[in-house]
Structure 1
Amino acid sequence: MLYYLFNYLDQLDFPGAGMFKYVSFRSGLALILSLFISTAIGRKIIDRLQYLQIGETIRNLGLEGEYSKKGTPTMGGIIIIIAILIPTLLCARLSNIYVLLMLVTTLWLGALGFADDYIKVFRKNKEGMHGRFKIVGQVGLGLIVGLVLFLSPDVVIKENMEVRHDNVIETVKFHTLEKKSTKTTIPFVKNNNFDYAMLVDWAGKYKQEAAWIVFVAMVIFVVTAVSNGANLTDGLDGLAAGTSAIIGVALGILAYMSSHFQFASFLNIMFIPGAEELTVFASAFIGATIGFLWYNAYPAQVFMGDTGSLTLGGIIAVFAIIIRKELLIPILCGIFLVESLSVIMQTFYFKYTKKKYGEGRRIFKMAPLHHHFQKAGNAGIQALIQKPLNKVPESKIVVRFWLIGIILAVITIVTLKMR
Structure 2
Amino acid sequence: MLYWLLYQKLFPYFHPFRIFRYVTFRTAFASLTALLIALLIGPFVIEKLRQFQISQYIREDGPESHQKKSGTPTMGGVLIVIAILLPTILWSDPANPFVWLVVFSTMAFGAIGFADDYIKVVKRRNLGLTARAKLAWQGIVAALVAIALVVLQQFRMFSTQLTVPFFKSFRPDLLWHLWPAMLPHMSLFAFVPFVAFVIFVLVGSSNAVNLTDGLDGLAIGCTIIAAGALTVLTYVSGHIIFSNYLELQRMPMVEELTVFCGAIVGASIGFLWYNAHPAEVFMGDVGSLALGGAIATVAVIIRQELLLPFFGGIFLLEAVSVLLQVGSYKLRKKRIFKMAPLHHHFELLGWKESKVIARFWIAALVFALFALTTLKLR
**Backbone CA RMSD of aligned residues:** 1.7
Give how far 1:326 is off: 0.8
The AA in structure 1 aligned to 2:96 is: N
Asked if structure 2 preserves the Cα contact closer than 8 Å seen for 1:250 and 1:413, the reply is yes
Larger relative helix fraction: 2
Paired residue for 1:169? none
Residue in 1 aligned with 2:196?
A: 217
Residue identity opposite 2:41 in structure 1: I
Give the structure with the higher percent strand. Answer: 1
Runs of 4+ in 1 over 4 A off after TM superposition: 206-211
Per-residue CA deviation, residues 207-243 of structure 1 (Å, 9 max, x unaligned), is: 9855422111100111110001011000001111011
Normalising by structure 1, we get a TM-score of 0.86
After superposition, where does 1:5-154 map in structure 2 within 5 Å?
A: 5-7=5-7, 8-12=9-13, 14=14, 16-152=16-152
Higher relative contact order (CA 8 A, sep 6+): 2
For residue 319 of structure 2, what is the aligned residue in structure 1? 340
8 Å CA contact retained: 1:346, 1:364? yes
1:417 aligns to 2:368 (yes or no): no
Question: How many residue pairs were aligned?
Answer: 374
What aligned pairs does 1:139-218 form with structure 2 within 5 A after superposition? 139-152=139-152, 156=156, 181-197=159-175, 200=176, 203=179, 205=181, 210-218=189-197
TM-score, reference length from structure 2: 0.95
Deviation at 1:15, TM superposition (A): 5.2
Partner of 2:359: 400
Contact 1:345 1:363 in 2 (8 A): yes
The corresponding residue for 2:231 is 252
Is the deviation greater in 139-148 or in 329-338? Answer: 329-338
1:249 and 1:155, CA in 2 relative to 1: closer, same or farther beyond 3 A? farther
**Higher Cα Rg: structure 1 or 2?**
1
Percentage of matched positions with identical amino acids:
46
Counterpart of 2:162 in 1: which secondary structure? Answer: strand
Q: Contact between 2:42 and 2:271, CA under 8 Å: does it hold in 1?
A: yes
Q: By how many angstroms is 1:417 displaced?
A: 2.0
1:227-262 CA distances to partner (integer Å, 9 max, x unpaired)?
A: 010110000011110111111111111111011111
Distance of 1:36 and 1:15 partners within structure 2: 28
Amino acid in the other structure paired with 1:35? L
**In the TM superposition, what whole-angstrom CA distance separates every residue of 1:269-290 from its partner, at most 9, and x where no partner exists?**
1101211110100110100011
Question: Which of these residues, 307, 321, 324, is aligned with residue 300 of structure 2?
Answer: 321
What pairs up with 1:316-395 in 2 under 5 angstroms? 316-353=295-332, 360-376=333-349, 391-395=350-354
Offset of residue 292 of structure 1: 0.4
Equivalent-residue separation in structure 1 for 2:160 and 2:262 (angstroms): 27
Do the aligned partners of 1:64 and 1:374 also contact (CA within 8 Å) in 2? Answer: no
Structure 1, unmatched stretches of 5+, are 158-179, 354-359, 377-390
**1:229 paired to 2:205:** no
- Structure 2, unpaired ranges of 5+: none
How far the C-alpha of 1:334 sits from its partner, in A, is 1.5
Does the aligned pair in 1 maintain the 2:4–2:94 contact within 8 Å?
Answer: no
Q: 1:34 to 1:265 in 2, by over 3 A?
A: same
Contact 1:182/1:212 (CA < 8 Å) preserved in 2?
no
